[in-house]
A and B are shown apart, each in its own frame.
Chain A
């Protein structure tokens, strides 16, 4: 019944339609005249949608349709994009052009593609400015299982803010972390179109997509549906830094966690959904090191959190069931926490000492940007890692560990010692879009 298509040879990507009923949003896409790809997003216990929110909801849903399309578009990256409902207004088209170009930059680099000039959403439509909806003064806080969102949660809790811990998809790790926060929880399910797996088997392009953008759009829909006036992510300062430059293009693994996207989406929501729906990152002014320092005080989370990108779906009780110990995330979190925790405590979290393992030298070198570029992961800046390592190299309980000793003898002499202090990293920068209501929480982190 289905026509076999060669994803890489497709010519047109179509945004077919989107709909919502009874807590389920359906997002439909297609390549050329091929079969429809239907993604479902399920919102649990959906309240009846209030009439005065309807327009805002539709706008948010449409944006979700457009943003979530990136997962499918990338299977074929055909030269033309078509939106069934007609051309987009310029601001929307611009947001999407930027997101698809920068959000897929790593994907393009890995696959040896150049997407510049290829991505053009249809423009020329019009839009009307929107007003305030008087949304309830409470916040959706996405939980990722890692330390950052937990720091954000605790910051909001500390100012008595009302918040809900929210996450998309099945993850025992995130569920465990969310439960530990003591906040009400909201678990939204996202089911990719099953046909996408088929396309993959047929040789679709594959690679990294800007998943934070997709989750942000899902949460915008959820904010209108359930009634929240703010979405507070936990993206830090270094998320804005490029991983590498490739043929003149900046490639940032975590572009959709960066400030540029935060501004684009935040402004778009104010003008297209509701002027009182705020989208921000609570950790934006802070470096990874400042955040790990804040996290080091949150002992109750030590035995549930994990930032490991092996993304264990099935959890066991041992540290090795949450930390693979080999990926850049494990390396970075270990290194960044080390200056702020008693050594035996840190080692009990990871179940092993990554800095005393020669086999991990390459991984840590990459973090330090020594003989390698920064890894494609959501990790801190190289200078940050160097500052943390330098701090450890001055500490007697660390300095004999294999990789710290190696840093002292081999790497440190090549570095400019004036650039290695830890303290400057612990200061907040000015860049942030946190709404007034949540500003006091911001101050509790630094």
Chain B
């Protein structure tokens, strides 16, 4: 069991260690505890080493001793002899300086005292609390080996240890006791000169974890436990992707790859000693020992290949070297790489083509603050064309059998297709796939890719043996999201089965859910006016309900304007926000009381007189400045929406000419956004634009509020959204704030009921046919949208079958859900497709002339 610096720095943490050790003892295990130095002590010892003056070194040594005295005091322990000896030694070392031992050996000796002292202290504490514990000098157990590529510095400060099993040591310990405590980070040279004991050496970064691994391997331990401040490795960095899932099982190679490409919880080098001896490693959270943690061991039992993690490393610089026909000359590459060595730059990834070799450099001080890159480019320019590309980020997907997953990655690859990908690299060990992209896209991209991987079935979070809860669920603030039971699962299930018995396919809308969503949005008191984007669902009952809740309405066509006008009272504010609408649409809309939005130059340029004396809203495309958000589809030059900012001046001039007043500015990012900060960005950018246009009174930041579809996915945090919007409002109090949510209000309120028609097996795949498909619900085919599908007839039966749920339409794309774990189904079973309240019925079509689904509203 290994405990790090913060775990050994205070009395309560030591009490915690004691309990954990005792619980292992109770399970009958013999325990070896490996500890780091108290937090901050290793740094203090390094600083001591850097002091030239003896008096300052002595002072530093005193301060270090004081930390240990204080902890002893808290533990109410007398000074144990073992610790006293160490403290005296440290004083002597500080006093002598490096002259006697030589600089590096002295440094190693001094720094080793952090662990020597903490372990001595721990031994005293554990024994005192009736857990007899033997103090063990790690240097008598771990023998450093000399390797040919080592210099004196790496030999002493970043050493390697022979990790072959050592039965002699195991036998020796067996005679000594049941519980031991020893030091991480330190070892001893094995080949000492005659008559001397070998010098003390250090294991370098991540040394304590590595010590634990060495001991595990030497003793052929049952397992190695790394106790830290988090439950294990996650599918992504939780700071970037709060929905990252705990990885419960990994094999050594995968874990090593994840550790190397980003995860900080484990140093990659601590896995190799265990691989030979096949000792499993367990990562556990000291504060939450009840959590499962991550088990890293030999290849896990058979399971579907899956991406295990996605990580990003930023600050990468690429050097692209272009040359015709030079690469095949013997020694050319060697010469090129010699330049990198000469300028102190270490190469990480390499990609090559016939005429190009591109390499990546990690962000070192040498790279950022010296002339190294300029000098390198100058040298390289003599033999090839050089291009320095930065700042980049490497995004790595890790998972065993990556190549067999490629077919599932099409959605993910399509996302990369929209970006500048500078390099793709895949190692021959088939464990990773790395894309080097522009750094600026990474923050928004990573959570999106994580979602896409899950949606594409490449990250099989449905396999509960491999994937644990999300970081958000384990450590996030507030209530765990997504736990509220859907209305159709319990309270309305019987009713739905009755409705399905009457007829299928059939949409059913649950009005209380619409009301609940509407009220939730109304809690955003910072928003001055909420419009319901009626295109999501124009059912009259839903419109009436939202009128009652005080919503305004947003329409995109004369048809919608007419439909809404028939139902809502005359005074209800309407917003007309069409795209590429013909002239007569504007003529029609201007004849109503709707506020009209223009989103291009053309109408005001060619039909300017139509708008004379009118107040309008201008929809702008904030373009790339906004950050490459996932659904860039309604922003950025690839989308047909909005006035590009470079045409704004022209638009303003035309508005002036036709005496048109721009009363509002509007932008809409895209759909399904779950990150509150995005609206803050839109809002702030619109406000800064509005300041240049005196007439603007309100800003419409659109909708696109996401509704999570996968179980466990975090809901949009409305309180956070409110906070973000308030922050912007405080900066620009002169503008009213409008929003136009659609799907958020109605998606969860609707389900599509359909019945099982037949089944088919094809190779390993099992198709489950239902009586409607893309003619009723096109979102899965159109957007790869993921809708939860359940067998409502057999909701309580175990989900043992893996189905492809398909409809009856003559299109191979008529698939409602792939790889769904469901109970074995029978003809006539009622299947429920969830979250069908938005863009369901309104997008349905008569294709294949199949009967359309009818619509039922329930209270």
User: Which residues of chain A have a CB within 8 Å of any CB of chain B?
Assistant: 170, 197, 200-201, 203-204, 206, 299, 310-314, 316, 318-320, 324-326, 342-345, 347-348, 351-353, 356, 359, 395-398, 400-401
Given A313-B732, A314-B684, A351-B391, A344:B440 Cβ within 8 A: no
How far is it, in angstroms, between the C-alpha of A204 and the C-alpha of B661 when the chains are bound? 12
Tell whether, in the assembled complex, residue A342 and residue B374 are in contact, meaning their CB atoms are under 8 Å apart. yes
In contact, B374 and A206 (Cβ under 8 angstroms):
no
Interface size, chain B (Cβ < 8 Å):
49
Q: Count chain A CB atoms within 10 A of each CB in B370, B373, B387, B684 and give the residue with the most.
A: B387
Whether A201 lies near B387 (C-beta < 8 A) is: no
B388, A398: Cβ atoms closer than 8 Å: yes
A170-B731, A345-B368, A348-B315 known; A395 vs B374 contact (CB < 8 Å): yes
Give Cα A345–Cα B388 distance, bound, in whole angstroms.
Answer: 12
* 24 A-B contact pairs sorted by A residue (CB < 8 Å): A201-B695, A206-B693, A206-B694, A299-B369, A312-B688, A313-B687, A314-B728, A314-B731, A320-B440, A325-B624, A343-B373, A343-B374, A344-B367, A344-B373, A344-B388, A348-B368, A348-B390, A353-B390, A395-B377, A396-B381, A396-B386, A397-B373, A397-B376, A400-B320
Q: Is B257 positioned at the interface, with any CB of A under 8 Å from its CB?
A: no
A396-B728 contact given A201-B694, A314-B680, A356-B389, CB 8 Å threshold: no
Complex: A203 Cα to B693 Cα, angstroms: 10
Return A358 CB to nearest CB of chain B, in Å.
11
CA distance A324 to B438 in the complex (A): 16
- Compute how far the CA of A204 lies from the CA of B387 in the bound complex, rounded to whole angstroms: 51
Indicate if B385 sits at the interface (CB-CB under 8 A): yes
Q: Mark B618-645, 1 if CB is under 8 A from A, else 0.
A: 0000001101000000000000000001
- Shortest distance between the CB of B536 and any CB in chain A (Å): 30
For the complex formed, measure the closest distance between the CB of A396 and the CB atoms of chain B, giving whole angstroms.
4
User: Nearest CB to that of B371 among chain A residues?
Assistant: A342
Nearest-neighbor residue (CB-CB) of B677 within chain A? A316
Q: Is B131 an interface residue (CB 8 A)?
A: no
The answer to whether A351 and B440 touch across the interface, beta carbons within 8 angstroms, is yes
Contact B694 A320 (CB under 8 A): no
Collect the chain B residues with CB atoms within 8 Å of residue A316's CB: 677
A397 to B373, CA, bound (A): 7
Task: List, in ascending order, chain B residues with CB within 8 A of A344's CB.
Answer: 315, 317, 363, 367-368, 373, 388, 390-391
Check: B372 CB closer than 8 A to any chain A CB: yes
With a CB–CB cut-off of 8 A, which chain A residues contact B462? none
Shortest C-beta distance, B354 to chain A (Å), equals: 18
A325 and B440 CA atoms in complex are apart in Å by: 11
Pick from B380, B684, B694: contact of A312, CB under 8 Å = B684
Residue on A nearest B388 in the bound complex, by CB: A397
* Residue interface mask B655-687, A partner, CB < 8 A = 1: 000000100000000000000010010001101
Q: Given the complex, which residues of B lie within 8 Å of A319, measured CB to CB?
A: 440
Minimum C-beta distance from B726 to chain A (A): 11
Bound-complex Cα distance A201 to B627 (A): 31
Docked CA distance A353–B386 (Å): 16
Q: Assess the A314–B695 pair: CB atoms within 8 A.
A: no
The answer to whether B734 has its CB under 8 Å from any CB of chain A is yes
Name the residue of chain B whose CB is nearest to the CB of A194.
B734
Instruction: Kindly provide the distance from the CB of B498 to the nearest chain A CB, expressed in whole angstroms.
Output: 52
> In the complex, how many angstroms separate the beta carbon of B74 from the nearest chain A beta carbon?
37
B interface list, Cβ under 8 A from A: 315, 317, 320, 363, 367-374, 376-378, 380-381, 385-391, 438-440, 443, 624-625, 627, 645, 661, 677, 680, 684-685, 687-688, 692-695, 697, 727-728, 731-732, 734
Query: Is A203 a contact of B391 with CB atoms below 8 Å?
Result: no
Contact partner, B390, options A310, A325, A343, Cβ 8 Å: A343
Q: Give the CA-CA distance A200 to B385 in the complex, in Å.
A: 55
- A353 to B688 Cα, complex, angstroms: 24
Judge whether A400 and B387 touch: CB under 8 Å: yes
Is the pair A400, B385 in contact by a Cβ cutoff of 8 Å?
yes
Q: CA of A313 to CA of B376 in the docked complex: distance in angstroms?
A: 40
Given contacts A313-B684, A352-B440, is CB(A400)–CB(B386) below 8 Å?
yes
Nearest residue, chain B, Cβ from A318: B443
Taking the closest CB of chain B, its distance from the CB of A395, in whole angstroms, is 7
B688 and A311 within 8 A (CB):
yes
Cβ–Cβ contact A352 & B391, under 8 A: yes
Complex-state Cα separation, A313 to B315, whole angstroms: 26
Q: How far is the CB of B676 from chain A (nearest CB, A)?
A: 13
Q: Nearest Cβ distance between residue A353 and chain B, in whole angstroms?
A: 7
Q: Is the CB of A342 within 8 A of B372?
A: yes
With a cutoff of 8 Å between Cβ atoms, the chain A residues found around residue B317 in the complex are 343-344, 347
Most chain B Cβ neighbours within 10 Å, of A170, A342, A351, A395: A342
On chain A, the residues within 8 Å of B645 by CB distance are 326
Contact B439 A351 (CB under 8 A): yes
Nearest residue in B to A359 (C-beta to C-beta)?
B624
CB distance from B260 to the nearest CB of A (A): 22
Cβ of A397 and Cβ of B374 under 8 Å apart? yes
**Contact in complex: A201, B731 (CB < 8 Å):** no
Checking A310, A342, A343, A348 against B688 with a beta-carbon cut-off of 8 angstroms, the contacting residue is: A310
Alpha-carbon distance A200/B389, docked complex (angstroms): 46
Which residues in B have their C-beta under 8 angstroms from that of A200?
694-695
Given A204-B694, A311-B688, A400-B386, verify A342-B368 contact (CB < 8 Å): yes
Chain A residue with Cβ nearest B724: A314
Having A320-B627, A400-B388, one finds 7 other A-B pairs with CB under 8 Å, namely A342-B368, A351-B391, A396-B377, A396-B381, A397-B374, A397-B388, A400-B386
Q: In the bound complex, how far is the Cα of B377 from the Cα of A398, in angstroms? A: 9
Judging by beta carbons under 8 Å apart, are B731 and A313 in contact?
yes
In this complex, which of A311, A344, A347, A353 has the most chain B Cβ atoms within 10 angstroms of its Cβ? A344
Please indicate the chain A residues that have their CB under 8 angstroms from the CB of B371 in the complex: 342
Whether A313 contacts B688 in the complex (CB less than 8 A), given A318-B443, A353-B389, A353-B390, comes out as yes
- Expressed in whole angstroms, the minimum distance between the Cβ of B658 and any Cβ of chain A is 13
Q: Which residues of B contact A299 (CB under 8 A)?
A: 369
Give 6 closest A-B pairs by Cβ, nearest first: A200-B694, A397-B377, A396-B381, A400-B387, A396-B377, A206-B694
Residues of A within 8 A of B627 (CB): 320
- What B residues does A325 contact at CB under 8 A? 624-625
Most-contacted residue by chain A among B388, B624, B728 (CB, 10 A): B388
- CB neighbours (8 Å) of A396 from chain B are 374, 377-378, 380-381, 386
Which residue of the partner chain A has the closest CB to B628?
Answer: A320
Question: B728 contacts which chain A residues (CB < 8 A)?
Answer: 313-314
B625 touches A324 (CB 8 A): yes
Q: Which residues of B sit under 8 angstroms from A324, Cβ to Cβ?
A: 625
Given the complex, which residues of A lie within 8 Å of B438, measured CB to CB? Answer: 352
Q: In the complex, A246 Cα to B223 Cα: how many Å?
A: 82
Distance to closest chain A CB from B684 (angstroms): 5
Is there contact, CB below 8 Å, between B377 and A347?
no
**Nearest-CB distance from B655 to chain A (Å)?**
11
Chain B residues lying within 8 Å of A395, measured Cβ to Cβ, are: 374, 377
A342 with B734, Cβ < 8 A, contacts A320-B627, A347-B390 known: no
- Bound-state CA distance A396–B322 (Å) is 13
